[in-house]
Structure 1
Amino acid sequence: MPEAHLSLQIIPMTEKERLYPIVDKVIDYIKKSGVRYIVGPMETTMEGELDLLFDIAKEAHRICLEEGAWRVGAVIKTDVLPEGIRFEDKIGKYKQV
């Protein structure tokens, strides 16, 4: 399957002081996965094979629970084209990635 985009806003329900450390662990996992990604103020957008991106989103939920969240919400958005899509196609004229 061609390259796709998946944006993940992960929302661990936890004590206020634990929120960002948990999100940081999720972002670290995304980084280690090897996919291209952009961290934004509200979500992280990843680029790669769609099944892999969904696997990463699923693991993000597990990480949050493992780190003590009592509930995990998420907003997931995808963009898939038959020929594939790259960050440069969308934002290349605005930002270098």
Structure 2
Amino acid sequence: MKTINLGIQIVPKSKSLSAYDLVDKAIEVIKASGVKYEVTPFETVMEGEESQLMQIAKEAQEAVLAAGADEVLVYYRMQIRKDADVTIDEKTAKHKQA
């Protein structure tokens, strides 16, 4: 099974709840999954096997709805290589601040 990167941006819609608090519910699901991930200001990027990451993404969006969002907009971006793994570190390690 190849390792891929999946970026997910969940934009919750709610008339009464904080969007940041709702997004935190999605991040909790991702964190609890045990996969490698990085939270950025616009999306969270996960690293792992495609079917596993898609299941986590579904659980994350369901958690936001369960937390009270009226609806969610969900945007995915994936990087998949035909014959090799894709890792977060290969793309970002040299840019990390100490």
**TM-score, normalised by the number of residues in structure 1:** 0.90
Q: Does 1:44 align with 2:44?
A: yes
The aligned counterpart of 2:56 is 56
Q: Structure 1 stretches (4+) deviating beyond 3 angstroms?
A: none
- Tell me the secondary structure at the aligned position of residue 18 of structure 2: helix
Long gaps (5+) in structure 2: none
2:38 partner letter? I
The aligned counterpart of 2:69 is 69
Long gaps (5+) in structure 1: none
The aligned counterpart of 1:85 is 86
Question: How high is the sequence identity, in percent, across the aligned residues?
Answer: 40
Report the alpha carbon displacement of residue 86 of structure 1 after superposing the two structures with TM: 1.1
Count of residues paired in the alignment: 96
Report the alpha carbon displacement of residue 18 of structure 1 after superposing the two structures with TM: 2.4
CA contact (8 A) 2:17 2:68 kept: no
- Tell me the secondary structure at the aligned position of residue 41 of structure 1: coil
**TM-score, normalised by the number of residues in structure 2:** 0.89
2:62 partner letter? R
The aligned counterpart of 1:2 is 2
Q: Does 1:94 align with 2:66?
A: no
Q: CA RMSD in A?
A: 1.4
